[in-house]
Structure 1
């Protein structure tokens, strides 16, 4: 603005202000003339309407009065019968559509005859005095319409009034008097007002319910105005008044015969609306003119300033852009259409931090690092001709440098390329960071082998390549045995050294035959292409052989072994995640077989694993859903075969899995850590039932319940047994706890104090499955047990196998020397029982005596035993 002539701007502002003032003055004059015209048109419409309305109203009342007068003459109450009067009323009522009711009443107001359904408590009260012909309007019901009453006296032959003919007329409606007066304009107000100010008829009706129901009177000032307007009956005048909070422009006339004022009016709001309707377009045009004029004024005033500012800004921007390009860390080069340099800001260096000098006129593609683009020049030109920019990254291997190139084209009006803009950056440092991040994300930091994430990608690539070449891929998933124990014993530093050694041995063994990966702390994986399963077996055995070699670390000689699970593509699965899952299932199968084993995945193994998962899931809800139950097998004296006790056995009938063997669900319960809850359930149920069994026997009965090692070492078994004894009331000497021999042999130091505490409660302890492979005479003298149960495998074959018979006899003799009772399990025949009698065995258990029975079956069995006579064998 400083560059524009200030005086010109002031003159233009003054001219615009005068023009605006002139337009506003013209608008005011036009609005006044329009208002006067609207009022004049309203007056010209009111006068003929009022004339018409006065004529119609007068004619209506005059006609109705004559009709009622004629009816009154024809009706002589003393002489005419009621039927004649009623007929006359009905005929006249049908002939007059505005008439709602027609009645004949006596001088006291009693109704003698009537038509219609409108009744009033007192017709005579509607008329102010005897001479009145037209009465006060009324509403017969709160929701009805306004009714106007008219009456004529009935006189006898002597001129004495003997009654009245009364008619009630509808004031509004399709057949009312307003229709004849052409009351079509919705905004017009019409009224019939008496000399006393009473409003007889108002069209339209009052806005409020109460005003429309009660007969209204206008104010005295309103009556005075009506009197002034009707002084000269030949001249109609208009005047503004206020009626019911509404300003009206009215005209009026008078019907002398009935002393009525006929008023016609138009609300001022309606006049204002008409005026506003005419004014809005003119006012809008003036407003638009003023706004457009102001806008044009601003444009003209600013263009000069804008032009000068744009020129200064452009010069300044060019200067800033030039400085920015010079200071940019990127190399900015402009060439002609033949790649000859026109401008370069000299921001590139070679691998030895020596600046690369580029001069105008040189061919850009002949100088480093842009010579790396020679092989891409056609692709670059094609992209640029299609209107796209080209971006690429290239490396100079000799200098170990990376460069990024962003190339765009400048075209003329015909679309021909006239310049190339080349922005080049040295991205060596960024690439090095990306490489470090890539290695951190995809390779194990300790061993340098591909990690789990990278392994998934490598397997996906290997499977895709194998599918194309019709090959097979084996995945060997391996786990280092006892690695956690090594970490806990010798520390993580030594554990890391072992991981490095394992990785080195693994890479050396696999060599070029496959790819070794480190999945997690002690888990490794090898993938290889194979033609036969023998190749996989050979590699697995080589890996296990290499790993078995002792390791000498920090003066410690350690032995390492691995278990391997093997899955094959595409035989076992064509999906990476499934292959890894299947290999893991095979690995778990190897671990279950012992140390240093390998296993191939099979669908049977998969089904077994799924079965295990299902068991672990279902056993969690089995106790809560009452799916578990207890059965009992008797323990009998060998000599007399009398029942002296029971062994409690648990059974599970699953709604989903069917019958599940105890070996399966007990193993699953131990895996997920709920075996203590199952054991607690067995203890409670067995103790409750043995109390009931005792009532059916004349000698003491014992109840044996199996206790798992998990219950002994991971739960408060002593507190549980104490609570069971207290709640069930069982004598402690009745309860016998059976513990597997294999558990005692492996954990004898851990369970010794727990067994002593159990013995202090008064319960008895016995060893189950004695002779199954872990027998040791030394711990028999150490543990506070009172009985041995010989493993059923020896009992099953001792009749035919002399060795089993000798071993059984030896165990019985040894146990008796130590003061222990002996229970023989698995007795199925008479010959076995006879041999055990010879050996002096104390108790026997097996299907020879009873199979496992539920509570009801065992109750019946005991009752039958009691019913045997004393001499029965």
Structure 2
């Protein structure tokens, strides 16, 4: 026996040695292949990274150079710079997050204007020669961030350089030029190096403080390698190089226009780390194999004991299985084919934390919670007979508990069912979580009403039921008037309380007539079945009444109102999305009517909404397509009929929509935010045409241009007017800006600073449609108005209506007392003119003099005026 065992051991050692040698050789081969693969992947990753980095860096420098060039062309360097230069510098700085400082220096390097202060050498000393656009990088302070300077020359009309626009850009960190380009790959080294070897940017920065502070230059050999790598454009190669104290695998490209090498590299140490990460598990597997071989030797020597070991293992597994069942959180019960208990691990609770004891030999279905299965015995048996398991969930209402049951069958050698295995779990907590999740998914947490998702489901169910039973459904879509103002003024906490109150009142108003839902924010919805329109209006009136009651929240008395839009099924729409859309269109109409009301959807409203959408779409391109043009109506002196000036009026002839009234397209332009462009077009055209009109007559002429409230509050109207004056060369005193009285009276405090700035430019201001406002006239003393224009509604019936005549006379007298000129618009007959002459009105405008004329027509009119037509006074 000993000889046999010795021979076996010897043969095993020989086989084990050969296998070990083969495994080690295979490991060496795999190691070499892995290292080659790591380097190949590194090569493949560097090329696209370098391409992307080169493209982004070049695009940035080209864009900034063009930006500085455009700024340089718009600046004139003088000894006394104006505020316009500073404003332009601030605008460009705000629009360029990578820019740290923007400044204008004269040809000697002295700062003319700047947006900040960077402690450095003289600006011009940072650039090696006059042709250089990008200067040397520097740090403004000892521990500050790296800064890269750029410049563009400012030339006078003779082409002589009078100064420079200079900018300083962040190199690294947030909002820096590097942020867009650098990928988040560890151990990667990326650099921008000049052809002279200077390192402009190195990412990440060097670990050594002095290396990151001082502008470094690479060694000559490194620079020579870069030149070789970029000899052939479009062909990327990689090289191993030494940079500072680290070895790198690099690739590079050249931006010829700026003489910059763009370098992407990966540390050799990182490549080794990648190789090691791939190798360690293979090496570990080989080691485990070798160790396992030793254990196999022991197994062969002791194979005689394997049967005993197997038995011990089996017994141990049975023991573990028994322990697992005993400690299982689920109840595991084994019964015979008659449901008599044979085994139970007693893991169930009766709801009072007391354990339910199940005694072998007793009937399982007589004990809680298995009594809940009595009605399911037949179904369970049927499933088990067909070889299927049975699963079910049942609720014990008295104990408010939920249980799940999983029942399977055990068969004997003949295939006959001999036992049942029942696994029972108390799932009460899970069911409670499901209920909470259902509420969170379908009901609004703030108001407790169904949310948008649940609302859509309810509406789908209602429409389906209404279609089957030939019923009608109404949707009332509403929002709280001025809720944003309440939120902004008093805070979100009070705003939430207000929404909760609205929800309570809405449920009270709706009661059992329909379902109230909370869509989002301050938007609510009610759906209801109705027989006639009176049912809807009654509910809408009730909602308006209930909401109208004032409420006291945190000591503040608030008044609540809602606007409602109503759409009906099947009259307005047959599906949920269209029904909600039409209700929203009706809601928009209610807001246009002044809020605190309700509106029904109609085809007219739909057409109006489509018209609005078409207008907003078309008006965006109207200016670019030359569809907009100006017409002019004269302002004449009442005393002599002589032309005093003009009012500029914009017109739009759309190829698709036809003639569009100014009220329509100006409103659409304000809605989508392009009114400032239209206003700038009107100013330019009016001022250019005024210069031409002035050449046709001997007396001085004025031009009035309307300015909307949107322009005064949402655009740089002061800058626009200043630019128009500068570009056209018009005298500011002949330009008059007309502002509608009703808008001015409502928002005087907001626009007062803008009006003062406009007056500072030398233009005059006048009030249009005077008499239609409803606020105090005290604003007339708040800023210097040059003229009032009396609205046509007073002039039309002035001759026959004594009240209108009295009001007109009063306005003229009051205006003259305040030193203002008065313009009467809408003059159409001689009687109106004669009465205005008696009242001492200064100027008149209307069809009696001229209708709105285009440039050619107005030119002809002015020429005919020089010939003194018969109707001239």
- Alpha-carbon distance in 1 for matches of 2:849, 2:503: 61
Larger mean CA deviation between 481-490 and 662-671 belongs to 481-490
Report the Cα offset of residue 441 of structure 1.
2.6
Q: Are 1:398 and 2:398 matched, yes or no? A: yes
Say if 2:556 is the partner of 1:567: no
Once the two structures are TM-superposed, the CA of residue 439 in structure 1 deviates from its matched residue by: 2.1
**Secondary structure of the structure 2 residue equivalent to 1:382:** helix
1:708 aligns to what? Answer: 708
Q: Retained in 1: the 8 A contact 2:632–2:855?
A: yes
Q: Tell me if structure 2 keeps the 8 A contact 1:771–1:790.
A: yes
Partner SS state of residue 624, structure 1: coil
Q: Secondary structure at the match of 1:479?
A: strand
Change (3 A) 1:412 1:467: farther
- Quote the offset at 1:7 in angstroms: 7.9
C-alpha displacement of 1:842? 2.4
Cα distance, 1:503–1:790 mapped onto 2, change above 3 Å: same
Uncovered stretches (5+) of structure 2, i.e. residues with no partner: 13-299
Residue 853 of structure 1: how far off its partner (Å): 2.2
Equivalent residues of 2:746, 2:775 under 8 A apart = no
For residue 770 of structure 1, what is the aligned residue in structure 2?
770
CA 1:620/1:871 → structure 2, altered by over 3 Å: closer, same or farther?
closer
Match of 2:469 in 1: 469
Shift of residue 432, structure 1, vs aligned partner:
1.8
Tell me whether 540-549 or 379-388 shows the greater mean CA deviation: 379-388
| Post-superposition offset of 1:810 | 3.1
CA displacement, residues 150-198 of structure 1 (integer Å, 9 cap, x when unaligned): xxxxxxxxxxxxxxxxxxxxxxxxxxxxxxxxxxxxxxxxxxxxxxxxx
- Paired residues for 1:220-619 under 5 Å: 311-411=311-411, 416-619=416-619
CA positional deviation for 1:399: 0.8
Mapping 1:818-829, distance limit 5 Å: 818-829=818-829
Q: Deviations over 1:343-381 (max 9, x none)?
A: 221111101111111122322222111111222333333
Sort the Cα spacing of 1:706 and 1:417 in 2 relative to 1 into closer, same or farther, 3 A.
Answer: same
1:674 paired residue number? 674
- Residue matched to 2:698: 698
Q: TM-score, normalised by structure 1?
A: 0.63
Residue 322 of structure 1 and its aligned partner are, at CA, apart by 1.6
Cα contact 1:755–1:784 (8 A) shared by 2: no
Q: Structure 2 vs 1, CA of residues 307 and 618 (structure 1 numbering), >3 Å: closer, same or farther? A: farther
How far does residue 869 in structure 1 lie from its aligned partner after superposition?
Answer: 7.2
- Judged with a 3 Å threshold, the aligned counterparts in structure 2 of structure 1 residues 615 and 386 are, in CA distance, closer, same or farther, namely farther
| Contact residue 332 and residue 421 of structure 2 kept, 8 A | yes
Listed one character per residue, the Cα deviations across residues 627-661 of structure 1 (whole Å, up to 9, x for unaligned) are 32222122222343332211111122334433322
2:335·2:420 contact (CA, 8 Å) conserved in 1? yes
User: 2:41: which partner in 1?
Assistant: none
Preserved CA contact (<8 Å) 1:393 1:404: yes
| CA separation of 1:310 and 1:574: change in aligned 2, threshold 3 A | farther
Contact 1:741 1:775 in 2 (8 A): no
Deviation at 1:309, TM superposition (A): 6.3
Partner of 2:641: 641
Instruction: Name 1:853's counterpart in structure 2.
Output: 853
In the superposition, relative to structure 1, how do residues 861 and 316 fare at CA in structure 2: closer, same or farther (>3 Å)?
same
Between the aligned partners of 1:757 and 1:346, the Cα distance in structure 2 is 87
Separation of aligned partners in 1, 2:456 and 2:842: 63
Q: Let me know the Cα RMSD of the aligned residues.
A: 3.2
Q: CA deviation at 1:428?
A: 1.2
Deviations 1:302-355 (A, max 9, x none): 999987766554433322212211111101112233322222211111011111
Distance 2:547 2:872 in 1: 69
After superposing the two structures, state which structure 1 stretch, 307-316 or 614-623, moved more: 307-316
Partner of 2:194: none
SS of residue paired to 1:649: strand
Pairs aligned (count): 591
Contact 1:741 1:774 in 2 (8 A): no
Contact 1:634 1:845 survives alignment (8 Å): yes
TM-aligned CA deviation for residue 597 of structure 1: 0.9
Separation in 2, partners of 1:6, 1:353: 66
Secondary structure, counterpart of 1:721 in structure 2: helix
Structure 1 residue 771 displacement after superposition? 1.6
Separation in 2, partners of 1:710, 1:634 = 26
What's the secondary structure of 1:780's corresponding residue?
A: helix
Provide the secondary structure at the position in 2 that maps to 1:743: helix
Q: State the Cα distance separating 1:693 from its structure 2 match.
A: 1.1
User: Once the two structures are superposed, what CA deviation does each residue of 1:115-167 show, in whole Å capped at 9, x if it has no partner?
Assistant: xxxxxxxxxxxxxxxxxxxxxxxxxxxxxxxxxxxxxxxxxxxxxxxxxxxxx
- Following the alignment from structure 2 to structure 1, what is the Cα–Cα distance between the partners of residues 305 and 662? 98
Maintained 8 Å contact 2:635/2:845: yes
CA–CA distance in structure 2, aligned partners of residues 405 and 602 of structure 1: 57
SS of aligned partner of 2:858:
helix
Asked whether the 8 Å contact 2:641–2:872 carries over to 1, the reply is no
For 2:342 and 2:420, locate their aligned partners in 1 and report how far apart those are by CA, in whole Å: 10
Cα offset for 1:732? Answer: 1.2
- Of residues 553-562 and 701-710 in structure 1, the stretch that sits farther from structure 2 once superposed is 553-562
Whether the 8 Å CA contact 1:333–1:344 is kept in 2: the answer is: yes
2:75 equivalent in structure 1: none
Give a deviation string over 1:205-230, Cα, whole Å, max 9, x none: xxxxxxxxxxxxxxxxxxxxxxxxxx
Contact 2:707–2:737 (CA<8 Å) still a contact in 1?
Answer: yes
Structure 1 residue 739: Cα displacement: 0.6
Post-superposition offset of 1:776: 4.6
Residues 611-635 of structure 1, C-alpha deviations (whole Å, 9 max, x = no match): 2233223323333333322221222
Instruction: Tell me, in whole angstroms, the C-alpha distance in 2 between the residues paired with 1:623 and 1:317.
Output: 86
Tell me the residue number matched to 2:262: none
For residues 565 and 554 of structure 1, the distance between their equivalents in structure 2, rounded to whole angstroms, comes to 31
**Rounded Cα–Cα distance in structure 1 between residues aligned with 2:405 and 2:522:** 46
Q: Does 1:832 align with 2:832?
A: yes
| Secondary structure of the corresponding residue to residue 851 of structure 2 | coil
**In the aligned structure 2, how far is the partner of 1:490 from the partner of 1:607?**
39
Structure-2 residue corresponding to 1:290: none
Higher gyration radius (CA): 1
Rounded Cα–Cα distance in structure 1 between residues aligned with 2:610 and 2:469: 33
**Structure 1, gaps ≥5 residues long:** 17-299
Change (3 A) 1:412 1:7: farther
CA distance in 1, matches of 2:762, 2:813: 26
Q: Spell out, residue by residue over 1:429-485, the C-alpha distance to the aligned partner (whole angstroms, 9 max, x if none).
A: 122222222222322222222222222222223333333332222222221222222
For residues 373 and 2 of structure 2, what CA distance do their matches in structure 1 show?
60
Q: Check the 8 A contact 2:351/2:401 in 1, yes or no.
A: yes
Describe the shift of the 1:636–1:387 C-alpha distance in structure 2 as closer, same or farther (beyond 3 A). Answer: farther
1:692 Cα offset (Å): 1.0
How many Å separate the matches in 2 of 1:746 and 1:654? Answer: 33
Q: Answer whether contact 2:745 2:773 (CA < 8 A) is retained.
A: no
Indicate yes or no: 2:766 matched with 1:761: no
Report the CA distance shift for 1:410/1:851 in structure 2 as closer, same or farther (over 3 A): farther
SS in structure 2 of the partner of residue 512 of structure 1: coil
> Where does residue 736 of structure 2 map in the other structure?
736
| 1:9–1:513 Cα change, 3 Å | farther
Separation (CA, whole Å) in 2 of partners of 1:660 and 1:413: 92
Alpha-carbon distance in 2 for matches of 1:316, 1:469: 68
Change (3 A) 1:670 1:871: closer
Is the 2:350–2:356 Cα contact (8 Å) retained in structure 1? yes
Q: Structure 2: how far apart are the matches of 1:564 and 1:494? A: 23
Q: Which whole-Å deviations, capped at 9, do the CAs of 1:526-574 have from their partners, x for residues lacking one?
A: 2222222211211111111111112123333222111112222333223
CA–CA separation in structure 1 for the residues paired with 2:368 and 2:805: 96
Match of 2:511, SS state, is helix
Offset of 1:751 from its aligned partner?
2.9
Could you give the per-residue CA deviations for residues 820-869 of structure 1, whole angstroms, max 9, x where no partner exists?
Answer: 22222223334433443344332222233332222223223323333447
